Amino acid sequence: MVTSVRLIVGIIGSVVCVLLYAVPILTFKRVIKEATVGEFSCLPYILALFSALTWGWYGFPVVSNGWENLSLFGTCAIGVLFEFSFIVIYVWFAPKEKKKFVVLMVSLILAILCMIVSFSSFMLHTQHTRKLFVGSVGIVTSMSMYSAPLVAVKQVMKTKSVEFMPFYLSLFSLLTSLMWTLYGVLGRDPYLTAPNSVGCLTGIVQLVVYCIYSRCKEPPKTHDDIELARDLEVATSREDTNACKP
């Protein structure tokens, strides 16, 4: 009974997670249209790629017991395709400095993944130790991925604009975390339960911040706006002074 429920939860979690992976399509459609990445950061997509690669390896039979985590493996495989596509688009339209950073980061995570796969395959000889090692790495990568949107939360609070934190991205992030937390609980898998529980908290924070700042109708003032207003005030003051002179 529990296995059947877990399978159903895994399927639902996979569907929601794929929708989460697909949400940035709107963002990158805009990037392609404007031919610039603007102020968008590629770091969340790099961390998401690393997380998908790590958990995909965790769900593979070499680490997991057979195909007990087939839903996880399939979802991560789709996630890798999405995230890699987004990163390629970002690099194509990014300025030279950002391109170098992204290429360096992607090369670094691929090198780390190769070390994880090699170490867990050839140095660890029992499934328990492999799950312990890869699951621990997965927790770290998931924590990094779930903490990345907090940068967007900080930016929203600073600019009082929700432009850089899409609602559906925050919503599906929360739903995905909830489903995978339940999936981990049903399978008594602490490596899936722990990081996704944290993801639930960060997802709630994002939605609360979005609800607060989405009500701000007045566009945020930039530094240029403030300087312009100051110049106008000074000019008006001078005109008033000149008008008072005989």
Task: Write down the pLDDT at residue 90.
Answer: 94
Arithmetic mean of pLDDT over the chain: 83
Length of the chain: 246
CA distance 121 to 130: 8
Question: What confidence score (pLDDT) does residue 84 get?
Answer: 95
Residues 138-161 have a mean pLDDT of 79
Question: So where are the chain's domains?
Answer: 1-243
Of the candidates 140, 141, 139, 145, which has an alpha carbon nearest to the alpha carbon of residue 202? 145
DSSP for 141-182, written as a single string: HHHHHHHTHHHHHHHHHHHT--TTS-HHHHHHHHHHHHHHHH
- Return the pLDDT at 216: 67
Q: Give the pTM.
A: 0.78
At 68, give phi and psi (nearest 5°).
Answer: -65, -25
The predicted pLDDT at position 237 comes to 44
> Helix 127-147 to helix 149-159 angle, to the nearest 10 degrees?
10
Tell me the C-alpha distance between 61 and 184, whole Å: 17
pLDDT for residue 26: 84
pLDDT at residue 147 tops 60: yes
**Per residue in 79-115, pLDDT tens?**
999 999 999 999 999 998 899 999 999 999 999 999 9
135 DSSP 8-state letter: H
Q: How far is CA 56 from CA 70, 71, 116, 246, in A?
A: 9, 10, 12, 82
Quote the percentage of the chain above a pLDDT of 90: 36
The one-character DSSP state at 214 is T
Please give the single-letter amino acid code of residue 145: M
Summarize pLDDT for 36-45 with one digit per residue, the tens.
888 788 888 9
- 134 pLDDT higher than 70: yes
For the ranges 67-71, 85-89, 224-228, the maximum mean pLDDT occurs at 85-89
What pLDDT does 132 receive? 93
Q: Is 83 strand, coil or helix?
A: helix
pLDDT at position 158: 82
